[in-house]
């Protein structure tokens, strides 16, 4: 078996690819259904008093056209008089998204925690400590959220939202002071995703089953189950845009590597909530441009606040070839273990993002990106696994400022 040990990173790379693809597919299905039903709830209009629909207990309906057909969905105040023979449930989209997401988290982060989760400049953790912190936040996030939902605070939507947002920001602050910035962001997103799927599994679906069970027994469903499910469904709707940003955040080190990464994340999440609120109101016929304006303003403020400073001018070295030779030596020692056609760093079968630094031309072509990631953001080497020194970063900065020749 040892003869095939070199294939383990390659196998993990394929597992990462396939599970990530599955996660995207199921996530689209879940979020699409969530967006649709929130739109439907906000767009339906009550039938005319005394009409046949009103007599049947229909709370609202609408007409829509799509794909060459006309649709007439209706929503009942509690439930129809008779249970239909065929009833569609929406649950596997949520379950599959979380299961694939946790599998991806395990493959990409937990199996390579020292590289992906631990930043010794933040906290010198063992693999099990880092993984335990990550999983602990997922569990604690759901418990605290659910208890608050069931508390008197849960009856006040606005204040409940403010408190939950504050707790998420507090979690982001704590995680960015325990894990690497990239892992911290991902675990905030995983915590929100866990809350969302637990809402479906622990409350929405059980409530729906109780309503169906009551009808099968010949009784009348308790409307409280529908009210609670609607509340959690709306919460999930507002969580979606922050989660979607976090899913792509690992590509943007300028956010998670900032000295105040938790605040950057908080402002971007807030922007997503304001933008989502605009669309929810729009479905009800209210156009409130102040909400997307606030969201865009927050994003612009973040972009300006974290913009890199202009590199200080330095005198060109007398011998550019000698200067580049120093940079090349640093890249060979600190970066090429991962960024090579044949990586030697355990856990990497291929160069991250396909970026390699095997030749002088490959280094020069990526000069701007190297300066940004190594000098400005200090995002690379990832977790500073190869112990790049500040003096080496300064050498790269001087080479870049002199024209990267």
Residues 299 and 324 grouped into a single domain: no
Three-class secondary structure of residue 336 per DSSP: coil
Q: Determine, yes or no, domain membership for 246.
A: yes
Final residue in a domain of this structure, among 305, 336, 364: 305
> Per the structure, how many domains does the chain have?
2
Token reading at 308: 């890199």
Q: Determine, yes or no, domain membership for 216.
A: yes
Three-class secondary structure of residue 311 per DSSP: coil
Residues 361 and 267 grouped into a single domain: no
Final residue in a domain of this structure, among 305, 335, 353: 305
Token reading at 260: 């105040």
Residues 289 and 332 grouped into a single domain: no
Residues 247 and 360 grouped into a single domain: no
The Cα 89–Cα 68 span in angstroms is: 25
Q: Determine, yes or no, domain membership for 12.
A: no
Nearest to 379 by CA among 195, 256, 291: 256
The values of phi and psi at residue 79, to 5°, are: -165, 160
Three-class secondary structure of residue 61 per DSSP: strand
Q: Which residue range is the domain that position 140 belongs to?
A: 88-305
Three-class secondary structure of residue 139 per DSSP: helix
CA torsion angle 310 314 319 325 (round to 10): -50
- Element at 66 (helix H, strand E): strand 64-66
Residues 381 and 349 grouped into a single domain: yes
Q: Determine, yes or no, domain membership for 381.
A: yes
Residues 341 and 300 grouped into a single domain: no
Q: Tell the burial category of 69 from Cβ atoms under 10 Å away from its Cβ (0-12, 13-18, 19+).
A: exposed
Token reading at 319: 């011998």
The contacts of residue 60 (CB under 8 Å, 6+ apart) are: 44, 45, 46, 47, 74, 75
Residues 208 and 329 grouped into a single domain: no
Q: Determine, yes or no, domain membership for 132.
A: yes
Residue by residue, pLDDT tens for the chain (405 residues) are 455 555 667 788 888 889 999 999 999 999 999 888 888 888 888 988 888 888 888 888 999 998 889 999 888 877 887 888 888 888 899 999 999 999 999 998 998 898 889 988 899 999 999 999 999 999 999 999 999 999 999 999 999 999 999 999 999 999 999 999 999 999 999 999 999 999 999 999 998 888 888 888 877 888 888 888 889 999 999 999 999 999 999 888 889 989 899 999 999 999 999 999 999 998 888 999 999 999 999 999 999 999 877 665 555 555 677 688 888 888 888 888 888 888 877 767 777 777 888 888 888 888 888 887 888 777 788 777 777 888 888 888 888 887 777
How far from chain centre, in Å, is Cα 243? 4
């Amino acid at each position: 078996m040892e003869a095939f040990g070199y294939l383990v990173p390659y196998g993990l790379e394929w597992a990462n690819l396939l599970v990530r693809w599955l996660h995207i597919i199921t996530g689209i299905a879940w979020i699409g259904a969530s967006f649709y039903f929130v739109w439907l709830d906000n767009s339906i209009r009550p039938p005319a008093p005394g009409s046949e629909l009103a007599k049947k207990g229909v709370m609202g309906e609408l007409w829509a056209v799509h794909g060459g057909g006309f649709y007439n969905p209706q929503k009942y105040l509690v439930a129809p008089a008779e249970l239909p023979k065929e009833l569609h449930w929406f649950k596997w989209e949520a379950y599959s998204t979380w299961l694939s997401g946790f599998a991806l988290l395990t493959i990409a982060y937990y199996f390579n925690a020292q590289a992906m989760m631990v930043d010794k400049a933040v906290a010198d953790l063992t693999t099990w400590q880092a993984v335990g912190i990550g999983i602990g936040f997922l569990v604690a996030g759901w418990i605290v959220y659910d208890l608050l939902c069931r508390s008197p605070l849960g009856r006040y939507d606005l204040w409940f939202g403010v408190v939950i947002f504050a707790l998420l920001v507090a979690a982001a602050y704590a995680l960015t002071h325990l894990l690497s910035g990239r892992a911290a962001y991902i675990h905030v997103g995983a915590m929100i995703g866990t809350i969302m799927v637990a809402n479906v599994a622990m409350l929405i679906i059980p409530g729906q089953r109780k309503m169906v069970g009551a009808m099968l027994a010949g009784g009348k469903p308790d409307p409280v189950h529908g009210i609670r499910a609607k509340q959690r469904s709306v919460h999930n709707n507002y969580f979606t845009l922050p989660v979607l940003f976090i899913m792509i955040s690992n590509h943007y080190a300028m956010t998670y590597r900032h000295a105040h990464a938790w605040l950057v994340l908080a402002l971007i999440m807030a922007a997503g909530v304001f933008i989502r609120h605009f669309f929810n109101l729009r479905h009800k016929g209210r156009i409130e441009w102040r909400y997307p304006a606030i969201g865009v303003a927050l994003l612009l403020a973040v972009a300006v606040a974290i913009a890199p400073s202009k590199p200080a001018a330095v005198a060109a070295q007398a011998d550019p070839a000698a200067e580049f030779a120093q940079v090349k030596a640093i890249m060979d020692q600190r970066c090429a273990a991962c960024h090579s056609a044949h990586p030697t760093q355990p856990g990497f079968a291929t160069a991250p993002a396909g970026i390699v630094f095997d030749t002088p031309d490959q280094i020069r072509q990526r000069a701007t990106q190297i300066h940004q990631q190594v000098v400005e953001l200090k995002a690379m080497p990832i977790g500073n696994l190869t112990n790049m020194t500040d003096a080496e970063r300064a050498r790269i900065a001087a080479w870049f400022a002199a024209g990267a020749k």
